[in-house]
Chains A and B, each alone.
Chain A
Amino acid sequence: MRIMKACAQLGHDFICLCTDVDRECGHVDMARELGGDSCVYTISNYLDANEIFSVADHAQATAIHPGYGFFAEDFRFARRTMSRDRSMIFIGPSWWVIRELGDKINTKRIARSLGVPTIPGSDRPVYNELEAENIARNLFDFQAAQGIRDGMVLVKASAGGGGMGIEEVQDLDQFRSVFRRIRNYAKRNFNDEGVLIEQRIFDFNHLEVQVVSERGGRKHVHFGTRNCSVQSTGKQKRIEVAPGFAPGDLPYAFDAAKVLEDITHHSLTMAREVGYDNVGTWEWIVTPKGEPFLMEVNTRIQVENGVSAVISRVGGEFGVNIIKEQVRLGLGGELSYDQEDISFDGVGIEYRIIAENPDDRFSPCSGAITRFGWQEEDWLELSTQIPRNRVYEIPMEYDPNLALAIVWGESLEQAKERGIRFLDSVVLEGESGGSAAEFRTNIAYLRDRTANLLEF
């Protein structure tokens, strides 16, 4: 939706893809409204690149925006967009950048070569048992020296992902057997024996740096930091706050302002080194002692970009739109301002309103929305695909996201208070399995978590 708005604002024609399942959603309505009936194409599957390209060819599109997921971090899709016979512009970083930063191990190595702090441990797959044991011993010694009680080491299959092939080790005596187990698991399941060994970090905060770069990869700015520590059990973000810490409003055990400065500095250093050339997010974890470690780089625009935009001023002006910047820069537009032109003001909180049950491991809730309303405010931005004039069936095929609300306040205190006020004003009714009582949303959970935002 926001991409279409951005295109419309920049004066570009666009087409919009939808599938049979979500053709009734609000975003399709908006596409019809902004671009006319002819700009909506129905495809069978968002994951089929061939179909997407044939639609693009049919519509004579000159550029493709991959959205937030699916193809946004797929360097092959980007490469194909660029190097096919009828080439198009991929709104996102160049494919080689996506490839280099899409691989976590590679990202870690690049970071280390620049002196950017990363999680202690190995930075390439370890095959040799003696080498592995040496790393593990060092990690335990290191944690002990740091005064961490019950230090832990993570052993994971380098080719794995999504939690598969990861185990925690509590002491060195267990390490060898766990290492062998993971190595054999990796060999059987991923055909690669490589194993990574890292320190297990507890109670960390998840911070992000929003980076924006020009095509050509020469000029880079950041739009501040975000704190995304409120997550579901499945590590899905629920509340994002910008900026990442509030050193003025809250006491921290470490120098929070310096941490924020360090991570933005490191992020920009890396962006310069790899020649980053679009919008991206550097994800960091910060330990309770205030040590930041680079986790990974998201080479795409993220859903939560709006919360950074709302606190940012370019040349003192309101109304930064990072998606609009992304499209403009992606098409080769110039980055006409410097870091000095960017200033930050106030605190932004983004809530994701989702039909789910936070008490039951955030299990998604199916059903229909019968009523949805809220109090409009000038400090509130809310986008939703739910049409207001009819009953909306939540599609089972995709995540049951209902709305995204961004609240702004002059201070953390005010932002929190406004956030609560907004959540209280939301009227969201629906039914699940024929009963209204079964219908669950995460609004109460969001309100609970608002109280101690940014505290560490």
Chain B
Amino acid sequence: MKILVTDQAGVDHELEGLEGWRVMEVIRDWGLNIKAECGGALSCATCHVYVDKDWLDVVGPPSDEEEDMLDSVGDVRPNSRLCCQILMSDALDGLKVTLAPSAAKD
């Protein structure tokens, strides 16, 4: 299964994802510009992405705890998600996301 990721510089990447991996882990594993400093503990909001509008319904809304974490970034949009909370599955084959500026490494 594949995900399509647009990085902060506007460059598109097609990444091979594995069932059960978090989208954050896929993006990090491919070496894109994602800080993901807490490693998936839902404690930092540095894996912030914008989900493509065609995929919003499939991905679903963030949990309350994820909404709380999103308070710690300054570039939230209605389609913001923390991609450590999105698990790869067949239903998400072809998922399109854009890395938020606040997800960038230093």
Same complex: no
Interface residues of A (CB under 8 A from B): none
